[in-house]
Amino acid sequence: MRNFKIGLFFVLFLAFSFTGCDKKAKEKASPLLKEKITAQNFFEIVDKIRKDTLLTLEETDLLSSGIARYSNLIDSLYNKTLAEIINLEKDIRRRQNLSNLTTNAILSFSRFRYDGWKEVEVEKSKFNIFTYTISNISNNDIKKLSGFLQFFTANNQLIRAYRLNIDQPIKAKQFTQFQSTFRLDEQNQNELFLIKALKENPQQIFVSWRPVYFELDNGQKIDLETNN
């Protein structure tokens, strides 16, 4: 009985200790998190962030990347508290991480290779034809695959993305070359810039594949668009 009482006392002591620590941790949250950024106090807030020892490393990291993300749209940060900016950045990072997780999972079963581009004209209408190869490195047939063929500048700025839907099965351990055709949108300045670059300076254009749907013939599938 005596040992039981000692054990119970020890458990209660630990419980109250952790509760107290948790309460202290909450009490130590920086008051600066409640302050709003405005056009008038922006640099003042930045200076306060720099000097505030109560902000955690994670909070300062999220604030730094959050402010950097809106560097060209700084007005979007005005009238938001630092806590709101941190939560927005957390949400963006979470979605990016989930997207990367899905992409990496799909790339564990398949490979994508961009083979080239050509322009054709049919009855005075221009079309872009993209050629690419998908390799199935899994032990099951790929039933369906969708994603975006993305084109970037040397500065990693997205120029244009084209949706690719592959409904033709790809046998296990085999590869298939595909072609997708898109009518040229002459009102789209980004597309006109891309086509000009592909003609004149293709080595300055970087291509990326971003899969969003993947299905095997055994019923397994990943649908990134449904989960976001």
1: confidence class by pLDDT, cuts 50, 70, 90: low
The pLDDT tens digits of the residues spanning 49-98 come to 999 999 999 999 999 998 888 877 888 889 999 999 999 999 989 988 88
Give residue-wise pLDDT tens across range 8-32: 444 444 444 444 444 444 457 899 9
Query: Mean pLDDT, the chain, as a whole number?
Result: 86
3-state helix, strand, coil in the chain (%, to 5): 45, 30, 25
Confidence band for 159, pLDDT divided at 50, 70 and 90: very high
In this prediction, residue 12 carries a pLDDT of 43
pLDDT of residue 188: 94
**pLDDT above 60 for 205:** yes
Residue 88: exposure state from Cβ atoms within 10 A (0-12, 13-18, ≥19): middle
The full set of domain ranges for the chain reads 2-103, 111-223
Q: Please state which of the four CATH numbers 3.30.70, 2.60.40, 3.30.750, 2.40.50 is assigned to the domain occupying 111-223.
A: 2.60.40
Please answer whether residues 164 and 149 qualify as being in contact, where contact means their C-beta atoms are separated by less than 8 angstroms. Answer: yes
- Amino acid 128: pLDDT: 96
The Cα–Cα gap between 181 and 16 comes to 67
pLDDT at residue 227, as a whole number:
54
For residue 155, the model assigns a pLDDT of 82
pLDDT tens, 111-157?
999 999 999 999 889 999 999 999 999 999 999 999 999 999 988 89
| Model pLDDT for residues 182-195, shown as the tens digit of each residue | 999 999 999 999 99
Residues in Cβ contact with 215 at an 8 Å cutoff, skipping those fewer than 6 apart: 142, 143, 144, 145, 221, 222
- Structure token digits, residue 62: 């999220």
Alpha-carbon distance of 166 to 149, in angstroms, equals: 12
- Residue 43 pLDDT exceeds 60: yes
pTM as predicted: 0.66
Q: Are 37 and 80 in contact (CB under 8 A)?
A: yes
CA distance 114 to 153: 16
Q: Half-sphere exposure of residue 145, counting CA atoms within 13 Å on the CB side?
A: 27
Q: Which pLDDT does position 99 carry in this prediction?
A: 80
Coil, helix or strand at residue 20: helix
